[in-house]
C-alpha cells in the first residue's frame, strides 16, 4: 500500500493544498477526502478524476468535501461514469442535503445516487475496498454535533480525520498493532477542534516514532526539529505503508 498526500494543509493554509490523500494498493486508487483545492491539486499531481477508483470521505468540511461537486460533474459529463463514494452511513443524507444538493440538482438528477455509486459504511466494521485494501471507520471527536470518521487501513495504518487529541485511542491502536499513524496537527495551541502539536508531543516516544503529522498550517517549516520523534508528511511525496 502506498500513500501520496495530494495536500497536507490545514483548512486555512495557502502554501499547502487541502489535506487529501491518494492511497494505492495493487493498482487500485482511493482518494481520501476531496476538498476545495483537490481538483487543481490532483491535476498538478498528474492525475484526473477518471483515474480514481473510489472516494472515501471523513467528514463534511469544505477542505474535505468541497471538491466533490466538480468530481461529480466531471464524472457525469466528461467521463460518463458514476464514481464510487464510500462514506459513513450517518453522513449520506447530510452530504447531499447540506453540501451537494444545491449545486448538483437539475430536473431528474436530484439525489446523491444519481451522481455517485454510494457505499454507506458502518463504523466498527471492516470492508474490503479492493484486493489488499481494507478499511475500518472509527468515529472520532472533532466538533460537537458534527460526525467525523477516522480510518484504519489494513489493521496497521491509522489515518486521522480532523480530530481532537485522544491519547487513549492512539495507545489502544498501537497496542492492537497499528504500525503507522498519520495525524492532523495544529501547530499553534490551543488545538480546540484539532490535536495541537503541544498535545501530540505528550505522547510516549514509542507512539511518536510511528506518527507523521499532516493537516498543518503555513508555518510548518518553522516547526521542523520541534516535533519530537514525529515527522511531517510532505505533500506529493509517495510513501510505502
Ligand atoms: N468550532 C470551530 C469550527 C471551525 N473552526 C475552524 O474552521 C476550520 C474548518 O476546517 P477544519 O479543518 O475542521 O479546521 C477548522 C478550524 O480551523 C474552528 O476553529 N472552530
Ligand atoms: Zn480539515
Ligand atoms: Zn474539519
The full set of domain ranges for the chain reads: 2-240
Position 153 scores a pLDDT of 98
pLDDT-derived band at 5, boundaries 50, 70, 90? very high
Q: What is the pTM of this model?
A: 0.98
What does the chain look like in DSSP terms, one character per residue? -EEEES--B-TT-SSS-BS-EEEEETTEEEEE---TTHHHHHHHTT--GGG-SEEEE--SSHHHHTTHHHHHHIIIIIS--PPEEEEEHHHHHHIIIIIIHHHH-BTTB-SHHHH-EEEEE-TT-EEEEETTEEEEEEE--SBTTB--EEEEETTTEEE--S----HHHHHHHHHTT--EEEEE-BSSSP-TTS-BHHHHTTS-HHHHTTEEEESB-TTGGGGTT-STT-EEPPTT-EEE-
- pLDDT average, residue stretch 25-34: 98
Position 195 scores a pLDDT of 98
pLDDT-derived band at 114, boundaries 50, 70, 90? very high
Q: Which atom of ligand 1 is nearest to the CA of 59?
A: 13
Regarding the domain with residue range 2-240, which homologous superfamily does it belong to in the CATH classification? Ribonuclease Z/Hydroxyacylglutathione hydrolase-like (3.60.15.10)
pLDDT tens sequence across 148-199: 999 999 999 999 999 999 999 999 999 999 999 999 999 999 999 999 999 9
ipTM: 0.98
Position 48 scores a pLDDT of 98
Q: In this structure, what C-alpha cell is assigned to residue 88? A: 459513513
Give me ligand 1 centre to Cα 193, in Å. Answer: 6
Give me ligand 1 centre to Cα 1, in Å. Answer: 30
Give me ligand 2 centre to Cα 119, in Å. Answer: 22
Ligand 1 pocket, CB under 6 A: 10-11, 61, 63, 143, 162, 192-193
Pocket of ligand 1, candidates 10, 11, 36, 219: which has the most ligand atoms within 8 Å of its Cβ, to mutate?
Answer: 11
Amino acid at each position: 500500500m502506498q500513500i501520496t498526500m495530494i495536500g497536507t494543509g490545514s483548512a486555512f493554509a495557502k502554501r499547502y493544498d487541502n489535506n487529501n490523500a491518494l492511497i494505492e494498493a495493487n493498482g487500485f486508487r482511493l482518494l481520501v477526502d476531496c476538498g476545495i483545492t483537490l481538483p487543481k491539486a490532483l491535476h498538478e499531481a498528474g492525475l484526473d478524476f477518471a483515474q480514481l477508483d473510489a472516494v472515501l470521505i471523513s467528514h463534511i468540511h469544505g477542505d474535505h468535501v468541497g471538491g466533490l461537486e466538480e468530481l461529480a460533474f466531471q464524472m457525469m459529463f466528461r467521463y460518463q461514469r458514476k464514481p464510487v463514494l464510500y462514506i459513513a452511513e450517518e453522513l449520506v443524507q447530510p452530504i447531499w442535503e447540506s453540501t451537494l444538493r444545491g449545486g448538483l440538482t437539475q430536473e431528474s438528477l436530484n439525489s446523491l445516487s444519481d451522481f455517485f455509486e454510494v457505499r454507506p459504511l458502518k463504523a466498527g466494521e471492516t470492508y474490503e475496498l479492493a484486493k489488499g485494501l481494507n478499511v475500518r471507520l472509527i468515529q472520532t471527536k472533532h466538533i460537537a454535533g458534527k460526525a467525523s470518521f477516522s480510518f484504519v487501513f489494513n489493521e496497521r495504518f491509522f489515518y486521522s480525520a480532523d480530530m481532537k487529541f485522544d491519547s487513549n485511542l492512539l495507545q489502544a491502536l498501537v497496542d492492537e498493532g497499528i504500525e503507522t499513524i498519520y495525524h492532523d496537527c495544529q501547530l499553534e495551541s490551543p488545538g480546540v477542534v484539532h490535536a495541537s502539536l503541544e498535545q501530540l508531543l505528550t505522547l510516549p516516544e514509542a507512539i511518536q516514532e510511528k506518527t507523521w503529522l499532516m493537516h498543518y498550517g503555513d508555518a510548518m517549516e518553522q516547526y521542523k526539529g520541534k516535533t519530537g520523534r514525529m515527522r511531517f508528511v510532505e505533500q506529493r511525496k509517495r510513501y510505502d505503508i
